[in-house]
Amino acid sequence: MDFLTLFAIYVVLVLTCIVLVCKYSGQQQTPFNTLFNYIVKVFAPITPKWLQKFSQWTLHRLFHQRNNMFIYLHILLEEMDTTLTSLSVPYILLAIKNFFFYLCIKRDPGTVTKRKVAGQLHIYPYDRRLFHPGVSCPTCQLVKPARSKHCRLCNRCVQRFDHHCVWVNNCIGALNTRYFLLYLFSVCAMAGDIALLTADMLLHAVLRSGLLGASYIDEYGEQQPAGPLFVVQHLFLTFPRIVFMLGFLVFVFFLLAGYALFHSYLALVNQTSNEWYKSRGYFCQHCHPTSTADHLCSPAPDHSKRYYYSRGLLRNLGEIFFPPQPVQKKDN
């Protein structure tokens, strides 16, 4: 049972890391920051200055600026998963996934520009709760349309901003949310398909070996039928890498499926992850202590619906796959 124990420890560690990341996401003071600062404080006196500067530059480059490293890593991981089988279905799914992956990278998410801002201001009304009229972006020097947000990584304001995805090195906004959703579902389909093929291969290996009808001598010298645990242990000992890969694929499938379902839910209610996150700890943009505005906000209207921009399931989905375009004023 050594391999089962190792695999159980592996799963527990991964799940623990995910729970901790989800719990402390968005917080300034976390145990991760405390531990990192302590390690830096301990090793700083014995670390060369050039290595400290290089480490700081690398971390800043990876997580605070746009870069293509995560795109290359993503493609490398996909190639590692799909070269284990010669069947055509995973490669078809890989082609579909890469197509949507490319669209997520290259398509404009809905950048707010001086030429388009006049029309973008009329796409969505201000809810006067999370978004208020007359608020300008201090970086872009443009009036912010409702549901827009400035991305510090891309250094631009994005219409209907959802989030910045490091895997596609681009913002997810009004014009590429549809591609991002289809990309997530295609990745889930590919991971699920490879997991099924791998499980089918292991099942055929068990059936051909005749383990289901076999027996073994236990530690007390008695003959015992080979049960499920014995078969699993045999697979771990015979195909350790394949079994670990299958466990990883199943874990990744459920993780991505949960993320895809979350974004599907947001699409159905016409809400972005930025709005969902802000609504959990709602604060007024004008009255917040960190705001530089001198005036108080107007009284917020009493909305009976929780989701201000929802217009029904079909219209919400239509807005995702056929996003409204800025109103262009004709020159007389």
Question: 109, 172 in Cβ contact below 8 A?
Answer: yes
| Mean pLDDT of the residues in the chain | 79
The answer as to whether 292 is a domain residue is no
The answer as to whether 317 is a domain residue is yes
The answer as to whether 270 is a domain residue is yes
- Give the number of domains in the chain: 1
Q: What is the pLDDT of residue 67?
A: 66
Q: Looking at residues 297-303, what average pLDDT do you find?
A: 44
Percentage of residues in the chain with pLDDT exceeding 70?
75
Q: DSSP labels for 110-175?
A: -B--TTTHHHHTTTS---SSS--TT-B-TTT-SBPPTT-EEETTTTEEETT--EEETTTTEEE-TT
With a cut of 60, say whether residue 290 has pLDDT above it: no
- Dump pLDDT digits (tens) for 6-56: 667 767 777 777 677 666 665 666 776 777 777 877 777 887 888 778 877
| The residue type at 139 | T
Tokens 């989030």 -> residue: 163
Look up 154 and say whether it is catalytic.
no
The answer as to whether 156 is a domain residue is no
pTM (two decimals): 0.70
Pairing of strands 156-158, 149-151: antiparallel
With a cut of 80, say whether residue 323 has pLDDT above it: yes
Catalytic pick from 137, 154, 157, 165? Answer: 165
Domain that holds residue 230: 86-109+173-216+224-281+305-325
Give the Cβ contact number of residue 313 at 10 Å: 12
The answer as to whether 151 is a domain residue is no
Q: What is the pLDDT of residue 306?
A: 66
Q: Looking at residues 272-278, what average pLDDT do you find?
A: 90
Question: 36, 56 in Cβ contact below 8 A?
Answer: no
In order of 55, 58, 300, 318, the CA distances from 46 in angstroms are: 14, 19, 56, 58
- Dump pLDDT digits (tens) for 191-227: 888 888 888 888 888 888 777 777 777 677 777 777 7
The answer as to whether 9 is a domain residue is no
Question: 87, 109 in Cβ contact below 8 A?
Answer: no
Between CA 75 and CA 94 the distance in angstroms is 10
In sequence order, the β-bridge partners of residue 217 are 223
Q: Looking at residues 117-124, what average pLDDT do you find?
A: 92
Cα 193 → chain centroid: 20
In order of 46, 269, 306, the CA distances from 317 in angstroms are: 56, 9, 18
In order of 128, 276, 303, the CA distances from 300 in angstroms are: 6, 18, 9
- Dump pLDDT digits (tens) for 149-182: 999 988 999 999 999 998 888 999 999 999 999 9
**Residue 283 — very low, low, confident or very high, per pLDDT cuts 50/70/90?**
very low
The answer as to whether 8 is a domain residue is no
Q: Looking at residues 270-280, what average pLDDT do you find?
A: 88
**Residue 330 — very low, low, confident or very high, per pLDDT cuts 50/70/90?**
low
Distance from the first to the final alpha carbon of the chain: 80
